Amino acid sequence: MGLPLPPICFRGLTLDWSRPYVMGVVNATPDSFSEGGRFTSTEAAVAHALELDRDGADFIDVGGESTRPVGAVRVAADVEIRRVVPIFERLAGRTRAALSVDTTKAEVARAALAAGAELVNDISGGRFDPGVVAAAESAGAGFVCGHVRGDSIAAVHASEAAPPTFDQVAEELGHRLANLPHDLRRRTIADPGLGFGKRIQENLELSRRAGELAARLSCPVMVGPSRKRFLGQLTGRPVGDRDAATIGAALAAAAAGASVIRVHDVAGVTAALRVFGAVRGEWGERA
């Protein structure tokens, strides 16, 4: 179902919320929790991004640093730039999908935006590096404002011992949104940060109440359940065998009012959303 929210427009792209949008993931890292370094070369990452585009992705989200709970290696901005900028340079003008950079560093955001990215997806919502907000604002880009607690990935995952409630996530995201520059606020999508310092109960509630969160924030909401640990806890499946569980989570979140679903299996999720929407008599045909 569409949200009663005004369209978001940035860099020539208009999102009207007439249906759920799908963000496909490209992890250009050697230590990705999901893909295990399959797309570390520019050629492999570009080929995968173009496949996601053909599969129906509305966004292609390219990241050069893992945020996995265990075993992720922090990298300097110049390393992250070397990983992602050539991908954007090769993809610019070649996809129907909008290009997004998954980063918490202002220097990386600026380099990616200059190379063709149109959206900055920051899991920390500018908390780790406030310069990310300025980079997105000055480029006229879109912004995904994620929710975490803590000032580093390690601190975020350590905070799971005392996870935030739904109301606390809503309040803290609302505070961050209120402090964004006015123009950027109008181009922002909120992300409650499934898996980042939340346990299974919180992840399920945030997915189930995605539409309520959007209404409280007056902002479209993105949900990213893809292959996450809580799906493994529910199904007993390993990371590489959680796409069916991801589809279930994606349909539930979209039905609850999530406007964007971030996933690895774009083909499966877009097909499921199309059929689910058709059965319910909602969500028009994809452009």
State yes or no: pLDDT of 34 exceeds 60. no
Whether residue 48 contacts residue 40, with contact meaning beta carbons closer than 8 Å, is answered with no
pLDDT for res 64: 94
Q: What is the CA radius of gyration of the chain?
A: 17
- Arithmetic mean of pLDDT, 167-178: 98
Where are the alpha helices (H) located in 2-126, listed in sequence order?
42-54, 77-91, 106-115
Rounded Cα distance, 212 and 178, in Å: 18
Write out pLDDT tens, residues 41-92: 999 999 999 999 999 999 999 999 988 655 557 899 999 999 999 999 999 9
Q: What is the pLDDT of residue 152?
A: 81
- Where in the sequence numbering do the catalytic residues fall? 228, 262
Q: Is residue 1 classed exposed, middle or buried when 0-12, 13-18 and 19+ CB atoms within 10 A define those classes?
A: middle
The pLDDT, as a whole number, for residue 1 is 45
Helical axes 200-208 vs 210-217, angle rounded to 10°: 70
Whole-number Å distance between alpha carbons of 145 and 147: 7
Band (pLDDT 50/70/90 cuts) for residue 2 is very low
Structure confidence by residue, pLDDT tens digits, 134-147: 999 999 999 999 99
As a whole number of angstroms, the longest Cα–Cα distance in the chain is 48
Domains of the chain are: 17-280 (3.20.20.20)
More confidently predicted of 38 and 260: 260
Q: What share of the chain is helix, strand, coil (3-state, %, to 5)?
A: 45, 15, 40
Q: Percent of the chain, pLDDT > 70?
A: 92
Q: What number of other Cβ atoms are within 10 A of residue 252's Cβ? A: 17
pLDDT at 33 over 60: no
For residue 173, pLDDT beyond 90: yes
Q: What is the pTM of this model?
A: 0.93
